[in-house]
Amino acid sequence: MRNIDQHNITEAVIARFASCDNPRLKEVLSSLVTHLHDFVREVKLTEPEWMEGIRFLTATGQMCDSKRQEFILLSDTLGVSMLTVALNQSRPAGATEATVFGPFHTDDAPHVAAGANVAEGAPGEPLFVEVEVVDLQGRPVADAEVDVWQADEEGLYDVQRPELGDTRRARGVLRTDAQGRTHFRSVVPTAYPVPTDGPVGCLLVASGRHPWRPAHVHFLIRAPGYRTLITHLFRDPDPYLDSDVVFGVRSSLIAPFVHHASGPLLDGPHSTLKHRFVLDAEAGAGAGAPAR
């Protein structure tokens, strides 16, 4: 096709996918081109603006490494991550809701026994967490993997502290017992800003948005026969519960972090958190996977 112009270029690009033997890829690419071209036409994108967009995306990619995923942060702050979760993670009544994954999970968190102090020296008031994992019928899910991670009192994850190197703290992987329970010690989380030293931070500033996330602890829970759950528990109260920069708050995930001046678990100030997570069965596994 010759003589491409603003009126026929979208049709020309989509026609190039005619030989694609992957129907889903063809569908996604055709839709992407259609909406992207419509966007360019709608805003009458200028060439300098197009080049600035290329520069921004290049800088976003250059900011990514094994400890930081700037593209996930971009997706989070534009609401794309939470929209994808909402579309794909609808769960039956009674099951714990999912929310965004976030950019700071690592695959090398230490595997620890129940009762361990996963904080490992992270600054913050001690927090004692009791977790129960059950199915939709309330039956315990034994030997479930409970992967937890969080920021410390200063709002930083371990991977944001260069002085720690490969040392991991305020994160760990535990297993539930025969009653579907486990527990660990950490620190009370605090609200924190997402990183603003990169292109996503610049975009937030330019668009007049704040960078803050309400205080929370991340949970990733896996068990055979059940859908994997990626979620948070948000600390109540928190000034950013209604304006989370990544749109991840769900009312059902707001939990009481109970402060104690002293006792019952420590001679001195500390907090406690108890929560029951309810898993739903994988597709084809029936109304509820068998208790293990």
Domain edges within the chain: 9-45, 70-279
- Give the pLDDT confidence score for residue 286 in this predicted structure: 52
The domain 70-279 belongs to what CATH superfamily? Aromatic compound dioxygenase (2.60.130.10)
Single-letter residue type at 91: R
Mean pLDDT, the chain, integer: 95
Please tell me the predicted confidence (pLDDT) of residue 68: 85
Residue 99: the pLDDT is 97
Neighbours of 48 (CB within 10 A): 8
What whole-number distance in Å separates Cα of residue 225 and Cα of residue 68? 31
Nearest to 191 by CA among 238, 259, 256: 238
pLDDT at position 292 is: 32
3 state SS of 62: helix
pLDDT value at position 289?
44
Strand extents, DSSP E, 188-279: 192-193, 212-213, 216-222, 229-236, 254-256, 258-260, 270-279
Q: Which residue has the tokens 């950019």?
A: 103
Note the pLDDT of residue 103. 84
CA–CA gap between residue 278 and residue 152 (Å, rounded): 26
* DSSP 3-state of 145: strand
Q: Report pLDDT for 284.
A: 67
Give the pLDDT score at 257.
Answer: 97
- Residues in the chain predicted with pLDDT less than 50, given as ranges, are 287-292
Whose structure tokens read 């700071």? 104
